[in-house]
Structure 1
Amino acid sequence: MGLKASLSRPFAALVVKGINKWKKNAVKAQQDTLLKIVGAAKNTAFGKDHKFASIKSYADFKRLVPVKDYEELRPYIDRVVAGERNVMWKGKPQYFAKTSGTTSGIKYIPISKESMPEHIKAARNALLTYVHETGNVDFIDGKMIFLQGSPVMSKKNGINVGRLSGIVANLVPAYLQKNRLPSYATNCIEDWEEKVDAIVEETIHENMTLISGIPPWVQMYFDRLTEKSGGKKIKDIFPEFKLFVYGGVNFEPYRAKIEQSIGRKIDAIETYPASEGFIAYQDEQDNKGLLLLAKAGIFYEFIPADEFYNDHPTRLSLGEVELDTNYVLVLNTNAGLWGYVIGDTVKFVSKDPYRIVVTGRIKHFISAFGEHVIGEEVEHALLSVANEEGVGITEFTVAPQVNPAAAELPYHEWFVEFSTPPADMASFSKKVDEALQKKNIYYFDLIEGKILQPLVIRSLQKDAFVNYMKAQGKLGGQNKVPRLANDRKIADDLSGFIIVAQTKNRGDFN
């Protein structure tokens, strides 16, 4: 055992002791965080405009600070981007995380000198919490790979600009630099397929012990490794591979294929990082809930998802939430985002401590007929049936078909790339539809009332989603395929990848 591995256990115990203190007092930690960040920003332009100096409680804050999305905050953000000081947070940001919004085009998310360390600390603590729970330190002495965006940054009015993963790549602690792969030169390759091939060349003969990234792009890396090695499983290429760290999407749709590629089950840690802040991570191997980071420079608010589009939706602090309720997540951060709707929906699975699961995106739903089907529901419906029947799913997305062929009722159209297709597509489609009806009473009523016909599954060619993302210029990095859309844009683009025409409402092959 190396020095770093041997020191990690006592260090992990010390860190977890500190985490446990705020875990037991998360509501108090949140109250303190609100007053601290409001106090720090009271002399900024935003703080003066919203009377931060008079805020003494969450009730004051709600009354004075409205909930806004990026576009609504843009007048302030544009001033920050232009180089103005003391607009939303004291001074200027240390970085801008550059992201692509569905409605806002390029977005520039400020990262301050106060918020950046919280990103790094949370990533570190996710690993140390795992070390403390399991005692597994073997991965620390091996090579670690983080599949991420390019670390090359540009400048905007004197401020470094890059993708969050690229910014973080420049800040990896010195004690991990010798263990980290790929090389800086390879990490800078912009073309994702070229980059993955270069990463394979650099890593295939290394002692890889930790692999991290967004599941679909990790799967691409695994596929290329298997191809390069002549068909070997990942466990045979990397016998000491101990830990998989992931985030960005729900792992369940990818779990079966990734474990098949590896050749065995492996410990995994789910994380919930965002450009706006590191929000949560999995702190127990047998618990799928993610520990909400209540003391990390972020004050969280929660709006019941079914009220979000009301004129005056309910806003709740951490101490007011309930279990098993879908909430829109709102952030207030020590980088100067206030009442900021990040777009994600979450559900609490525990309040002692506060743990969440990410259920989807508030703008990614289907409600063409009032059903408001969300990501959590379609994932459960498809995967529960697929797991029962030994069906393998590579990727999928769902869209409404509101203008079907003559004499047909509208329906939900599912575009699915199978790694192991169903033996009987009609039976499989019927079971998935029934599973969705059980999860969503509105969808059930629409099917029962003959407003909708049962869903239709379109089976897609191998690599359909990879080729779609490539065509969109979004292959790799932090990019993800939306599970749901309330329009036909993605569906129409994927129609060219359908394997064979299918009939009516049961996904039957012609």
Structure 2
Amino acid sequence: MSLKSFGAKIFAKIVVSRIDKWASNPIETQQKVFNSLISDAKDTSFGRDHDFEAILSPKDFANRVPIRDYEALKSYVNRMVDGEADVLWPGKPLYFAKTSGTTSGAKYIPLTKESMPFHMEAARDAILCYIHETGKSDFVDGNMIFLQGSPELTEKNGVKIGRLSGIVAHFVPSYLQKNRLPSWETNCIEDWETKVDVIVEETKDRDMTVISGIPSWVQMYFERLRKVTQKDVGTLFKNFNLFIYGGVNYEPYRAKFEALIGRKVDSIELYPASEGFFAYQDKQDVKGMLLLLDSGIFYEFVEAASFFDENPRRLTIGEVKTDVNYVMIISTNAGLWAYNLGDTVQFTSTRPYRVIVSGRIKHFISAFGEHVIGKEVEQSMQDAMQQFQFSISEFTVAPQILPKQNELPYHEWLVEFETEPKDLPKIALTLDNLMQEQNSYYKDLITGKVLQPLKITALKKDSFHHFMKSQGKLGGQNKVPRLSNDRIIADQLIQLQA
């Protein structure tokens, strides 16, 4: 065992002890975070506009500060981008994480000197929890690869701007820099396909022990590796035994990954975003990720079923229940207040508080009142894959409201299979039954003959790759929406089959 590996085990024990302390006192921990946020921001423009001086409790906060998404907060953010200080948080931000918006074009998410350390510490602590639980630490001596965006930054009015993953690259500690890949120059390549090819050349002869990234893009890297070397990833990287991921559910990709690697490897799920680092998997055999209650973020939760009501009830951590779909609302030490991230979560445990990401509040299908969410389609696909032993590259689901020949409407599952199964009709029927078991609204529509059972449309190889490229969203942190309540994505994918 190297000195570095031995030191990692000692540090892991210390960090896990700290985590246990706040995790065992969740309500008190969140109250301290809340008090600190309100106190620190009371003299900002936002704090004065919402009378933070008079806010003494989360209930006061809910009464004075409405839930906002980026569009509603944009006027404050624009002032910060223009160089104004003390707007949402004291002083100016260190960075703006630039992300692609929906209706507003680019979004500029502030990162402050108070918030930035938590992005780094959370990723570190996830790995330390793994080391402490499993006793495995030798991987710290090997090479690690993090598939991410370019670290090149621009600057406006004294604040640097870039992608979150690129910003984070500037904070990687020196003890990890020596064995971290790809090179800085390669990370700066903007064209994703060119970048992956160069990464393959840089890494194919190295002892990779840890690989991290969004599953769909890591899969592309693995496929290129195998094509170039004619070897399974696990044969090429004999000591690769840890995959770290976030952004999407890994389960639909797991079978394909294990086929590409040639064996099973451990994995750690992370829940990061430009707006904050919210949770990570702290136990290998426990469902859900530990919600980070001591990281400068105050959480509120609104039941998804009532989110669009005029005045939905906002719950604090002590009021949530397991297996309920919540919209997660955050207030942070980067100056986001009662901010609707757009994600929905479900608690798998309240001792400690662990969550899974169940979908997006805007990514659902309810064309007929069925209220289908991402977790339901992903779980159904996962179960069907296990039952029928097939693997996929990607899939998305959309409603078919006006089918031809006077058919009943249905949900269309557009699936890119690794190898198209022979029994698609049977798989479709199984998927439909699995959906009915999870969603009573959907079941009622099927049994009531409002909808017919779902249909699978098998797509050509690389259909999603070509679609994302056509949208200018190939690689990086971009993800295919799992669900759409319209046919925009579905129709474009079908056009690619011509």
Do Structure 1 and Structure 2 share a fold, with TM-score over 0.5?
yes
Q: Deviations over 1:140-170 (max 9, x none)?
A: 0000000000000111221100110000011
2:395·2:413 contact (CA, 8 Å) conserved in 1? yes
Q: Give how far 1:393 is off.
A: 1.6
Provide Cα deviations, 1:261-310, integer angstroms capped at 9, x if missing partner. 11111111000001000000000011131000000000001000000110
Using the alignment, how far apart are the partners of 1:129 and 1:434 within structure 2? 38
Q: Counterparts of 1:66-465 in structure 2 under 5 Å?
A: 66-230=66-230, 232-465=231-464
CA contact (8 A) 2:287 2:348 kept: no
Task: Give 1:329 shift.
Answer: 0.5
Q: Output the CA distance in 2 between the equivalents of 1:143 and 1:447.
A: 52
Offset, 1:2 = 2.5
Partner Cα separation in structure 2 for residue 22 and residue 106 of structure 1: 36
Distance 1:394 1:202 in 2: 25
Aligned to 2:31: 31
In the TM superposition, residue 242 of structure 1 has moved relative to its aligned partner by 1.9
Asked if structure 2 preserves the Cα contact closer than 8 Å seen for 1:330 and 1:341, the reply is: yes
| CA distance in 2 between partners of 1:485 and 1:104 (Å) | 19
What is the alpha-carbon distance in structure 1 between the residues aligned to residue 419 and residue 355 of structure 2? 31
- Divergent runs of 4+, >4 A: none
TM-score, normalisation: structure 1: 0.96
- Aligned equivalents of 2:389 and 2:405: distance in 1? 35
TM-superposed CA distance for 1:103, in Å, is 2.7
**Structure 1 residue 101 displacement after superposition:** 2.0
Q: Give the whole-Å Cα distance in 1 for the aligned partners of 2:83 and 2:146.
A: 32
Paired residue secondary structure (2:234): helix
Q: Which runs of 5+ in 1 are unaligned?
A: 500-510
Cα distance per residue 1:473-502 (max 9 Å; x no partner) = 111000000000011110111002448xxx
Say which SS state the counterpart of residue 373 (structure 1) adopts.
coil
State the alpha-carbon separation in 2 of the partners of residues 416 and 211 from structure 1: 26
Aligned to 2:110, the other structure's residue is in SS state strand
- In 2: Cα distance, 1:120 partner to 1:324 partner: 30
- Deviations along 1:402-444, whole A, 9 cap, x unmatched? 1111311111111000113222111111111111111111111
Any conservation in 2 of the 1:209–1:240 contact (CA below 8 Å)? yes
Q: Distance in 2 between matches of 1:56 and 1:314?
A: 18
- Kindly provide the CA deviation profile for residues 56-101 of structure 1, in whole angstroms up to 9, marking residues without a partner as x: 1111111111101110111111111111000000000000001112
Give the share of equivalent positions with the same residue, in percent.
59
TM superposition shift of 1:336: 0.3
Q: 1:214 offset after TM fit, Å?
A: 0.3
TM-aligned CA deviation for residue 384 of structure 1: 0.8
Q: Which moved more, 1:411-420 or 1:349-358?
A: 411-420
8 Å contact from structure 1 (residues 459, 498) kept in 2: no
Mapping of 1:26-65 within 5 angstroms? 26-65=26-65
Q: 2:142·2:179 contact (CA, 8 Å) conserved in 1?
A: yes
Give me the whole-angstrom Cα distance separating, in 2, the residues matched to 1:281 and 1:411. Answer: 36
Residue 502 of structure 1 is matched in structure 2 by none
Code of the aligned partner of 1:206: R
Q: State yes or no: 1:475 paired with 2:474.
A: yes
The alpha-carbon deviation at position 3 of structure 1 amounts to 2.2
User: 1:366 is paired with a residue of what secondary structure?
Assistant: coil
Aligned pairs (5 A) from 1:478-489: 478-489=477-488
Q: In the aligned structure 1, how far is the partner of 2:102 from the partner of 2:71?
A: 11
Q: How far apart in 2 are the matches of 1:165 and 1:287?
A: 27
Q: Distance in 2 between matches of 1:404 and 1:102?
A: 28
* Alpha-carbon contact 2:330-2:338 (below 8 Å) kept: yes
Distance 2:156 2:491 in 1: 37
The unaligned stretches of length 5 or more in structure 2 are: none
Contact persistence 1:458–1:498 (CA under 8 A): no
> When the two structures are aligned, how many residues end up with a matched partner?
498
